[in-house]
């Protein structure tokens, strides 16, 4: 008998094993023949975040649905605990279908003659969210099969991801990330226990539990989730506060900072959450500055701003224009538009000239009419300043000295340096690098221009701006040597007209006809640029970089953390390896002085030797190490006396020489 019994048991066990294996084989065949449709889970919007992970922009899924992806590992633990307690207490123990819950639902249905509880697990709910169907028994059977498939294919984390991403939150909102942004105005990572409970409750009846329309119903549903068995245990004071917490009374706008850059990144980078190098607080401040400035611009005028970290070349704020503004080409990213830089490239030209020994800050140059082949460039103000130092010529943005330096340096060499800086010059059709490059005769973008000016502020290290984090730390290529770059930085470090932050080096640019007004600058930590103009390229009458763009640049640096550069004398002394020197001063004659005919001794103080003395722009004496020089006025009249030092510092005084009695 024992042998017969053991034989029967063996046959029974073998049969059971065969049935199990057959069932598994059938499930595998069905799974392969009828795979779940995951397209809704894969057709999602994108979230763009700043360097610290703070939300900049949310971009909707196709069709305008706010379906933003999120996984269980990205939400607070109390949200998952509330969800499991409210919807599927045995979630972690069943394979997708809960026989106990289904049996209870069937019994209640049979006894009451109607559906009392659905018996759906979170896995079955996820299946229904992926493939919505009519609510009937056939659909329930399909959902049960799909639930097992989802558990098999995605595991518990994948099932939670599907629910958290697809759960309806009212209107065109789907998922807890979109719900948190729309109802609370904060990322889902930072929702409170009460807010998490509302996100769990709303999907049960998303239109009748919308908190902005049905506040009391939403409150009751939320509090039911909070008090459900298995919900996170809270201290009594926190529990009372959570139950009393108010309902959102309106749906908030989705975050939309840096809209142009966000869409650029979404086109170029894969992933659900896209990290950038921006700073959300600074981006918000720059967009505010831009809005206020654009309110005062002429019709169709627009504005763009770029702020970058000087050392890493990472963009911290990018304002591409007024997003979708009618008449301002609001869909275009004007930080990437190719425009003429005007005189804003002159700092690079002078740095290269200083680096190659073609000039130094104190070199005397001629700002006088001259032909370069058949081209006769003029200054913006149409006049000429005579003999000036290179430092003064750069500060005044004089054109003739710049073109002369370009001729000596070579436009091809200059264009090559621009390419190495990540700013390849776009020439007119059929044209090559030529002398007009000195005055903006090629196109660059504002982002590229900020990269060029950053190289001047960073000791000559060149490199394009970056908007995406990661990769090797920025090292840069030495386009010019540090002493030359520092000399130009010292020349450009001056106060803003009308006041503003101190210790900022800046330069303006104006393209032909007032089509582009630019200002770029840097302090010890940041580089920034502002473009003002009309996107369609039509001129703004009277527009200049100094009048339109520079005041905005002053506001940009006023909004940045203070990081002033050293004053000119200190920078020059550091470059020379010596102690700082006093600022150059003219002791005699003072400005406005009236002096008699005869010999006059001009005296200077401070500054760095050697010194050059000029009257009306014409040198008359090189004092060398001496701080004074004798001058005999040629006759009565008005004169301008100037003293220059070795660093290009210049001080002047207007005097009148009166005739004999």
Of the chain, the end-to-end C-alpha distance in Å amounts to 152
Q: Given the structure tokens 């020439």, which residue do they identify?
A: 427
* Least confident stretch, 109-123, 186-200, 202-216: 109-123
Quote the pLDDT of residue 194: 96
Would you state the pLDDT for residue 182? 97
Of 544, 561, 554, nearest in space to 498 by CA: 554
CA dist 486 and 478 (Å) reads 13
CATH fold for the domain made of 342-573: Beta-lactamase (3.40.710)
Higher pLDDT, 3 or 286: 286
Q: Is the pLDDT of residue 255 over 50?
A: yes
Task: Let me know if 642 is exposed, middle or buried by CB neighbors in 10 A (0-12, 13-18, 19+).
Answer: buried
* Superfamily of 39-45+62-244 according to CATH: Biosynthetic peptidoglycan transglycosylase-like (1.10.3810.10)
* 589 preceded by a cis bond (ω within 30 of 0): yes
What pLDDT score does 118 carry? 57
Per-residue pLDDT reduced to its tens digit, 434-487: 999 999 999 999 999 999 999 999 999 998 999 999 888 888 889 999 999 999
| Tokens coding 531 | 């473009």
Whether residue 8 has pLDDT greater than 90: no
* Stretch among 10-19, 194-203, 383-392 having the lowest mean pLDDT: 10-19
With cut-offs at 50, 70 and 90, classify the pLDDT of residue 5. Answer: low
> Which residues, in sequence order, are bridge partners of residue 142?
none
Confidence bin at 36 (pLDDT 50/70/90): confident
66-94 residue pLDDT tens? 999 999 999 999 999 999 999 999 999 99
The DSSP annotation for 370-395 comes to: --BTTB----TTS---EEEEHHHHHH
Check if the beta carbon of residue 254 is closer than 8 Å to that of residue 181: yes
Which of residues 14 and 230 earns the better pLDDT score?
230
Scanning 313-410, the segments in alpha helix (DSSP H) are 346-355, 390-396, 399-409
Q: Calculate the average pLDDT of the chain.
A: 87
Q: Is 625 left (phi over 0), alpha (psi -120 to 50) or beta?
A: alpha
pLDDT in tens, 144-169: 888 999 999 999 999 999 999 999 99
DSSP secondary structure string for all residues of 209-223: S-TTT-HHHHHHHHH
Higher pLDDT, 39 or 7: 39
Q: Which two tokens stand for residue 460?
A: 């000559």
- Strand 637-644 versus strand 650-658 pairing type: antiparallel
Q: What strands, in cross-sheet order, belong to the sheet with 600-605? A: 585-588, 600-605, 628-631
Q: Is 100 helix (H, G, I), strand (E, B) or coil?
A: helix
What is the predicted pLDDT for the residue at 68?
96
Q: 414 and 439 in contact (C-beta within 8 Å)?
A: no
Domain extents in the chain: 1-33, 39-45+62-244, 342-573, 581-658
Kindly tell me the burial class for residue 341, based on how many C-beta atoms sit within 10 Å of its own C-beta (0-12, 13-18, 19 or more).
buried
User: Tens of pLDDT along 312-354?
Assistant: 999 999 999 999 888 898 899 999 999 999 999 999 999 999 9
The catalytically annotated residue of 262, 280, 343, 392 is: 343
Whether 87 is catalytic: yes
Reply yes or no on whether the pLDDT at 620 is more than 80.
no
Task: Give catalytic status of residue 416 as yes or no.
Answer: no
* CB-CB neighbours of 493 under 10 Å: 23
Window from 59-63, 176-180, 377-381, 435-439 with minimum mean pLDDT = 377-381
pLDDT at 477: 87
Asked if pLDDT for residue 116 goes beyond 90, the answer is no
**Can you give the pLDDT at residue 433?**
82
Q: Would the pLDDT of 571 be above 50? A: no
Q: Which residues is 614 bridged to in the sheet? A: 619, 642
Determine how many CB atoms are found less than 10 A away from the CB of residue 116.
13
Is residue 285's pLDDT more than 80?
A: yes
Instruction: Report the half-sphere exposure of 193 (CA within 13 A, side-chain side).
Output: 20
Query: Does the structure show a pLDDT above 70 at 27?
Result: no
Kindly report the number of other CB atoms within 10 A of residue 337's CB atom. Answer: 22
In three-state secondary structure terms, 309 is: strand
Backbone angles phi, psi at 46, to 5 degrees: -125, 155
- For residues 150 and 163, is the Cβ–Cβ distance under 8 A? no
Whether the predicted pLDDT of 60 surpasses 70: yes
* Count of C-beta atoms within a 10 Å radius of residue 2: 6
- Give the pLDDT of residue 551: 96
Residue 189 DSSP one-character state: G
Q: How do 594-596 and 650-658 pair as beta strands? A: parallel
581-658 CATH choice from 3.30.420.40, 2.60.40.10, 3.60.21.10, 2.50.20.20:
2.60.40.10
Cβ–Cβ contacts within 10 Å for residue 223, how many? 18
Q: Name the band, by pLDDT with cuts 50, 70 and 90, for residue 579.
A: very low
Residue 582's pLDDT band (cuts 50, 70, 90): low
Q: What average pLDDT does this structure show over 281-300?
A: 94
pLDDT for 577 beyond 60: no
Region label for 377, one of left (φ > 0), alpha (ψ between -120 and 50) or beta (otherwise):
beta
CA distance 126 to 83: 13
pLDDT beyond 70 at 198: yes
The catalytic position among 57, 87, 151, 340 is 87
- Nearest C-alpha neighbor of 488 from the set 353, 614, 367: 353
Structure tokens at 491: 């020349």
Single out the residue of 347, 351, 384, 350 nearest to residue 366, CA to CA: 384
Using the CB atoms, write b or e for 411-433: b if 16+ within 10 Å.
beebbebbeebbbebebeeeeeb
Q: What are the two backbone dihedrals, phi and then psi, of residue 131, each rounded to the nearest 5 degrees?
A: -135, 85
Query: Rounded CA gap, 528 and 453, in Å?
Result: 8
Other beta carbons less than 10 A from residue 117's beta carbon: 13
| Element at 541 (helix H, strand E) | none
Query: What is residue 245's predicted lDDT score, i.e. its pLDDT?
Result: 94
Q: Are 261 and 58 in contact (CB under 8 A)?
A: no
20 has pLDDT over 70: no
Asked whether residue 355 carries a pLDDT value surpassing 80, the answer given is yes
Beta bridge partners of 622: 612
**The predicted structure's pLDDT at residue 26:** 58
């Amino acid at each position: 008998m024992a042998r017969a019994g053991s034989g029967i048991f063996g046959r029974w066990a073998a049969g059971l094993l065969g049935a199990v294996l057959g069932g598994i084989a059938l499930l595998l065949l069905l799974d392969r023949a009828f795979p779940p449709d995951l397209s809704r889970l894969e057709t999602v919007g994108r979230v763009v975040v700043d360097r610290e992970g703070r939300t900049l922009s949310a971009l909707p899924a196709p069709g305008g649905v706010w379906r933003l992806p999120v996984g269980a590992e990205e939400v607070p633990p109390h949200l998952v605990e509330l969800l499991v307690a409210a919807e599927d207490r045995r979630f972690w123990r069943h394979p997708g279908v809960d026989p106990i819950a289904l049996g209870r639902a069937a019994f209640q249905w049979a006894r009451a003659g109607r559906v009392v509880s659905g018996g759906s697990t979170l896995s079955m709910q996820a299946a229904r969210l992926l493939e919505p169907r009519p609510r009937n028994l056939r659909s329930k059977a399909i959902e049960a099969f799909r639930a097992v498939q989802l558990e098999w294919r995605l595991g518990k984390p994948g099932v939670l991801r599907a629910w958290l991403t697809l759960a309806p939150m009212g209107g065109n909102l789907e998922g807890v990330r979109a719900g948190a942004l729309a109802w609370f105005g904060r990322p889902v990572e930072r929702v409170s226990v009460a807010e998490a409970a509302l996100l769990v409750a709303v999907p049960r009846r998303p239109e009748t539990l919308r908190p902005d329309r049905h506040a009391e119903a939403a409150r009751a549903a939320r509090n039911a989730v909070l008090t459900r068995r298995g919900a996170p245990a809270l201290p009594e004071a926190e529990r009372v506060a959570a139950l009393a917490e108010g309902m959102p009374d309106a749906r908030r706008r989705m975050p939309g900072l840096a809209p142009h850059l966000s869409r650029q990144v979404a086109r170029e980078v894969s992933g659900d959450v896209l990290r950038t190098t921006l700073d959300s607080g600074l981006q918000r401040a720059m967009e505010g500055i831009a809005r206020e400035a654009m309110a005062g611009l002429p019709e169709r005028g627009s504005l763009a701003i770029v702020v970058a970290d000087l050392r890493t070349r990472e963009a911290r704020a990018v304002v591409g224009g007024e997003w979708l503004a009618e008449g301002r080409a609001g869909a275009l990213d004007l930080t990437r538009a190719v425009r003429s830089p005007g005189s804003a490239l002159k700092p690079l030209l002078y740095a290269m000239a200083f680096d190659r020994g073609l000039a130094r800050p104190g070199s005397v140059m001629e700002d006088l009419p001259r032909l370069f082949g058949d081209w006769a460039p003029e200054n913006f103000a149409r006049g000429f300043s005579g003999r000036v130092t290179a430092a003064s010529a750069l500060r005044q943005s004089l054109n003739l000295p710049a073109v002369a330096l370009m001729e000596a340096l070579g436009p091809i060499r200059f264009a090559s340096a621009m390419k190495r800086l990540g700013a390849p010059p776009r020439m007119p059709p059929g044209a090559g690098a030529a002398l007009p490059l000195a005055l903006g005769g090629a196109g660059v973008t504002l982002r590229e221009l900020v990269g060029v000016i950053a190289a001047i502020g960073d000791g000559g290290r060149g490199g394009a701006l970056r908007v995406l984090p990661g990769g090797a730390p920025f090292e840069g290529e030495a386009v010019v040597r540090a002493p030359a770059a520092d000399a130009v930085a010292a020349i450009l470090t001056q106060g803003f007209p009308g006041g503003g932050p101190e210790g900022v080096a800046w330069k303006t640019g104006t393209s032909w006809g007032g089509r582009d007004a630019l200002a770029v600058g840097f302090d010890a930590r940041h580089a920034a640029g502002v473009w003002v103009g009309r996107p369609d390229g039509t001129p703004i009458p009277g527009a200049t970089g100094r009048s339109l763009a520079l005041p905005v640049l002053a506001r940009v640096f006023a909004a940045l953390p203070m990081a002033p550069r050293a004053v000119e004398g200190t920078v020059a002394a550091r470059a020379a390896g010596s102690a700082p020197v006093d600022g150059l001063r003219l002791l005699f004659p003072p400005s406005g002085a009236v002096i008699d005919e005869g010999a006059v001794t001009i005296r200077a103080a401070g500054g760095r030797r050697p010194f050059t003395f000029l009257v009306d722009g014409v040198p008359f004496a090189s004092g060398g190490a001496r701080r004074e020089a004798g001058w005999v006025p040629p006759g009565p009249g008005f004169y301008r006396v100037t003293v220059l030092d070795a660093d290009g510092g210049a001080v002047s005084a207007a005097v009148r020489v009166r005739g004999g009695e």
